[in-house]
Amino acid sequence: MSCYLVLAHFDSAARLAHAINEVRQESPGAELETFQPFPDHEVEEALYAGKRPSSVSALVLLGGIAGCLSGFLLTAWMSIDYPIRVGAKPLISWPAFVVIAFECTVLVGALSAIAGLCLFGRVPGGWCRPEYRASFSEGAFGLSVRAEQPQCGDLEQKLYRAGAEKVEVVYAR
């Protein structure tokens, strides 16, 4: 089945957010995607209203816990496997291992944040998409709405009324 994208260009994040709300009001199930030179709360709220926050946070929590546990287990096991008695202290002197466990927590937590960005944000990925425009990294804001046919007069009018500077239809597949 053919797929088209109606691509609207805006000159500000506020207009983009307004347009998202307008389109959502009429067709709540519409498949929308935005293109922005920088993140904007208003746009994010309009685009993901009612949805759960990014899953990156859960991944970082899991990574942090895994890092902390592995830091303690690594130091404890190695201290028993190759015992070095220091100052008549127990082999598993956990206060000395806190530093390693802390560093592992931060390291694995940070790596999990990157993994989350890659997994959920689809980075790395292809950027040479038909709907991508170089102006989106400069200062223009874009909104793409999925459509099944190239004649989308109503939607185009709606986007112009919401403040779009230009609306084009792109063959996406």
Tell me which residues touch other proteins (CB under 8 A): 11-15, 32-40, 43-44, 47-48, 53-57, 60, 64, 74-75, 78-79, 81-82, 84, 86, 89, 93, 96-97, 99-100, 102-104, 106-107, 109-111, 113-114, 116-117, 120-127, 129, 132, 134, 136-139
Name the residue nearer to other proteins (CB basis): 2 or 99. Answer: 99
The helix, strand and coil proportions of the chain, stated in percent and rounded to the nearest 5, come to 50, 15, 35
Peptide bond into 95 cis (omega under 30): no
CB of 123 to other proteins, least distance (A): 5
- 150 close to 4: Cβ distance less than 8 angstroms: yes
**Complex with other proteins: residue 48 or 171, whichever CB lies closer:** 48
Give the Cβ contact number of residue 33 at 10 Å.
13
Q: Pick between residue 116 and residue 158 the one whose CB is nearest to other proteins.
A: 116
DSSP state of 158: H
CB 65, min distance to other proteins, A: 13
- Distance between CA atoms of residues 162 and 156, nearest Å: 10
Residue 79 or 152 having the CB closest to other proteins: 79
Nearest distance in Å: CB 151, other proteins: 26
Q: What is the distance in angstroms between the CA of the first residue and the CA of the last residue of the chain?
A: 9
Token pair in block for residue 89: 């202290």
Report in angstroms how near the CB of residue 100 gets to other proteins at its nearest. 5
